[in-house]
A and B are shown apart, each in its own frame.
Chain A
Amino acid sequence: MANIVRAIGDRSIRAYIDPERGTVSRELYVNDDIFAQELEQIYQRCWLLLGHESQIPNPGDFVVTRMGTEEVLMVRDRKDHKIRAFLNSCRHRGMKVCRYDEGNTLVFTCPYHAWTYDTKGKLVGVGFGNYANAYTDTLPTGSEEWGLVEVGQICNFYGSIWATWDPKAPSFQDYLGPFAESLRHCLQSSDGEDAGLEFFTPFQRHRIPTNWKVPGFTSVTDLTHTAMTHRSAQAAGLHEDRGTGKETAKPFPQEKYAIGDHNLGHGGMCTFYDQLGVPDYANEWFEPGVDDYFRAQTERKKLLIADRIMPPHGWGGGHFAIFPAVMVDSWRIRYYHPHETGITERWSLFGVDKNAPDHVKDAVRHYAERFNGPVGFFESDDMENWNYVFPASQGATARKYDYFYRNGLGHGKYDDRLPGVVVNGSYTEEAHRARFSRWLAFMEAKSWDDLYPLNKSANHNIWPGVDGQASAKA
C-alpha cells in the first residue's frame, strides 16, 4: 500500500493525480488511509444533504439521517419549530441515543444510563443516580456543555435541508455558487412555484460494495455509459413503458454540454437555452391523464418565466452533482454515504408536486419504485458495474494502473453564462475532472480559509488546457 502521511496539509496526495495525462490513481478508490483522510478533510467540512422539511412537518418530529459514515438526528423543535441536527451519539459514553427511523418525541432518552436531551439537543436529565458524589437528580454543573453534538451550520434551501459540521464553511448559497439557481429550479413544482415539491417517504436506501466516489464522482454525467450499461432496459423495451405515444415537442434553441466548476466541485449535464421562457411539454408518461397534468403545469410555468432564460439544470435541462456526492436530476435526488473504503449506502429521494392530483402522484411514485434503486429496471445495471469496479481495482497489480479521465481534456472553455465554470462537450469527462480538482483542494486545505469562495482569488483547476479568459460563446 502506498505510504501516505496522515497530516492535514500534506502535499503528497497531489502525486496521485496526473493532470497532463488526464489520469487518477486507483489508490484514491481503494486505499484505507485516503478514505480516512476524506472523512476528515471532506465530510467534516462540506455541506451535506440531510433530507427534506416535509419529512418532519410537526413540532417534535424527527428522522434519522446520515452525514458521511455517521448517523445524525434531524429534529423539529417543540417550542421554536426550527429544524436542528445532532450527532446520534450520547455525550455520556457514546450510545446511539435514538434507534428508531423516525417519530415524534418530547425528549431523547439514552437507553444506556438515561441521559436525556430535549429537541434542542440540550441535556435535561441524567438518570437515576441518588448517591452523594454520583449523578444526582439535578443536573451537574456545566451540563450546558454536555448537549448533543450539533452541526456547525444548517440551511433550509427551498425545503431541502443541508448541514455542515464546520462553522467556518461559507453559506450554503455561496457553496453552491452558480448552481444555486439550478438547485432552486429543481426544487420547484412543475409550474415553477418555489419549494413546490414534497418528497415521498421513506427514501430508498441500499448498500453497494464499492467506493463512494465510483457513483459519487462519476454517475451524474457519464453519457458514455448509457448505451452499454443500460442495454438490457433498451432491449426489453422498458423505456417505452414510460412515455408511450411520445410526441416530439417544438424544438427550442439550446446547447447541451458537460460542465465542471473546478473551484466548487459541482457540475454535470447542462443545457443553455438560447431563448426566453419554457419549451413546450413533451409527453413522457404512460399512465392516462398524467401528461395532461404536466402540460397544463408547463403552460403556467411559461407565463411565470416568459421573460427569463431557464436555469441550465432541472426539468429537462439535465442533471448535476453537488460536491461531494449529491446528484440532482430535477425531482430525483440520489446521494451516497460512505461507510467503508469499499462500502457505500445509496439513498434516493423522489419529489412530486405538492398539489398534484392522486393519479399523478401514483404515476410518479410507481416510476420511482420500478425504475430506480436496487429493484429498479434501470439502476440495477449501474449497481453491478459500480460494484465490481472495486474488487477489480484493488489488487497489487491493478492499483498501479491509473483510471482514465482524459475524455475532452484540453477542450474546455469558460462561458459567461455560468461564470467560473468550464464548459465542454456533453460526452466529455469535464465534470469528473472538476470533482478531482475540488477533491484535491479539500485534501490539501488546512481549513476553509484555503478553500474558495472564502479565498476567491484561488484557482483550484489542476487540469491543463483551459484559457481563463476565453468564452465558449466568443
Chain B
Amino acid sequence: MVNVGGKQTMLEDLILQHELEQFCYLEARLLDERRLTEWLDLLSEDLDYWMPMRRNIKFGDWDKEFTDHHKEINWFDETKDIIAGRIRQINTGVHWPEEPVSRFEHLITNIEVVSEDADGIRVNSKFHVYQNRLQDEINQWVGRREDLLRRDPDTKFKVVKRKIILAQNVMLPKVVNTFF
C-alpha cells in the first residue's frame, strides 16, 4: 500500500484501494453475467483500449517485445465505438462463436494503485479469464492490465486507458470473444 499522492492519509488510501477493487470486481461481474452494455458504461468516451502482440525476444531487448500501438498490428486497438460494435454483435444472438453463449469467469487480482495525478488514477491488476463453452471447449487468457481511470460522479470511475498485457505469442484460442 502506497500513499499515492503523498498528501492523503492512510485511511484515504485504504478507501481508494477498496473503491478501486470494488470497481474491478464490478467490471468482472458485469462481463460474466453477460451485462455487456452495462459494462460499456464504465468506459470513458475517449477510451484507448490496447492489447499488443508479444514477440519472443532476447533478454534485454525489452523495447522489441510489444507491438507498436500506432504502427503495428495489435490484438486490440479500440475506441469506445468499436467496443460498442462488438457488444452489439454479441447481442444479436447470431454471433456464432458466442452462440450458444459461453460461460466466462473473469478473475481479477493483484490490484495495485500506482499513482494519482491530474490525468487520473493509475491502477495495475492481473486477470485470469476462463471460458467454458458448449460441452468441452476451454479457452484461457492470463495477463495483466495497466489502467488509467478517471473519477466519475455516476459510476465512481471510468476506464480511460487500458493496456492489456497477455501472456501469449501465437493466439492459441481460435477466437477472442470477451473483454479484459
A residues neighboring B (CB under 8 Å): 99-103, 200-209, 229, 231-233, 235-238, 241, 345, 350, 361-362, 365-366, 368-370, 373-375, 377, 380-381, 383-385, 387
Please tell me if B177 contacts chain A, counting CB pairs below 8 Å. Answer: yes
Q: Name B54-111 residues within 8 Å CB distance of A.
A: 55-58, 67, 70-78, 81-82, 85-86, 88-92, 94-97, 99
Please tell me if B169 contacts chain A, counting CB pairs below 8 Å. Answer: yes
How many angstroms between the C-alpha atoms of A4 and B174 in the bound complex? 31
B residues neighboring A (CB under 8 Å): 53, 55-58, 67, 70-78, 81-82, 85-86, 88-92, 94-97, 99, 169-177
Interface centre among B57, B78, B170, B172 (most CB of A within 10 A): B170
Q: Enumerate chain B residues within 8 angstroms of A384, measured Cβ to Cβ.
A: 96-97, 174-175
Q: Enumerate chain A residues within 8 angstroms of B57, measured Cβ to Cβ.
A: 100-101
- Docked-complex contact B92 and A205, CB < 8 angstroms: no
Selected A-B contacts with CB under 8 Å, 30 pairs:
A99-B56, A100-B55, A201-B72, A202-B53, A205-B170, A206-B174, A232-B90, A232-B92, A232-B96, A235-B92, A236-B85, A236-B89, A236-B92, A236-B95, A238-B88, A241-B82, A241-B85, A345-B170, A365-B71, A365-B73, A369-B74, A369-B77, A370-B77, A370-B78, A374-B171, A375-B76, A377-B86, A381-B97, A383-B97, A384-B175
How many angstroms between the C-alpha atoms of A236 and B88 in the bound complex? 5
Secondary structure at the B interface, as helix, strand, loop or mixed, is loop
Closest Cβ of chain A to B89, distance in Å, is: 4
CB-contact partner of B70 in A238, A241, A362, A374, under 8 A: A362
- Docked-complex contact A100 and B56, CB < 8 angstroms: yes
- Docked-complex contact A206 and B94, CB < 8 angstroms: no
CB-contact partner of A100 in B58, B82, B175, under 8 A: B58
- Docked-complex contact B73 and A205, CB < 8 angstroms: no
- Docked-complex contact B172 and A206, CB < 8 angstroms: yes
- Docked-complex contact A202 and B55, CB < 8 angstroms: yes
Q: Enumerate chain A residues within 8 angstroms of B95, measured Cβ to Cβ.
A: 232, 236, 380-381
Q: Enumerate chain B residues within 8 angstroms of A205, measured Cβ to Cβ.
A: 170-171
How many angstroms between the C-alpha atoms of A373 and B173 in the bound complex? 11
With A345-B170, A384-B96, A385-B96 in contact, is A237–B88 under 8 Å at CB?
yes
Q: Enumerate chain B residues within 8 angstroms of A350, measured Cβ to Cβ.
A: 73
Closest Cβ of chain B to A32, distance in Å, is: 21
Q: Enumerate chain A residues within 8 angstroms of B74, measured Cβ to Cβ.
A: 369
How many angstroms between the C-alpha atoms of A380 and B171 in the bound complex? 13
- Docked-complex contact A369 and B73, CB < 8 angstroms: yes
- Docked-complex contact A203 and B88, CB < 8 angstroms: no
Closest Cβ of chain B to A370, distance in Å, is: 6
Extra inter-chain contacts (10) besides given A99-B56, A232-B99, A374-B174, CB under 8 Å? A100-B58, A101-B56, A202-B55, A202-B73, A203-B73, A204-B171, A205-B170, A236-B92, A374-B175, A381-B95
Q: Identify the closest chain B residue to A375 (Cβ).
A: B176
- Docked-complex contact B170 and A380, CB < 8 angstroms: no
With A345-B170, A362-B70, A369-B76 in contact, is A381–B96 under 8 Å at CB?
yes
Q: Enumerate chain B residues within 8 angstroms of A235, measured Cβ to Cβ.
A: 89, 92, 94
How many angstroms between the C-alpha atoms of A164 and B97 in the bound complex? 36
Closest Cβ of chain B to A241, distance in Å, is: 6
Q: Identify the closest chain A residue to B58 (Cβ).
A: A100
Q: Enumerate chain B residues within 8 angstroms of A102, measured Cβ to Cβ.
A: 55
How many angstroms between the C-alpha atoms of A231 and B55 in the bound complex? 34
- Docked-complex contact B89 and A200, CB < 8 angstroms: no
Closest Cβ of chain A to B125, distance in Å, is: 21
- Docked-complex contact B89 and A374, CB < 8 angstroms: no
Closest Cβ of chain A to B96, distance in Å, is: 4
- Docked-complex contact B174 and A387, CB < 8 angstroms: yes
How many angstroms between the C-alpha atoms of A374 and B70 in the bound complex? 20
Q: Enumerate chain B residues within 8 angstroms of A236, measured Cβ to Cβ.
A: 85, 88-89, 91-92, 95
Q: Enumerate chain B residues within 8 angstroms of A204, measured Cβ to Cβ.
A: 73, 171
How many angstroms between the C-alpha atoms of A209 and B138 in the bound complex? 12
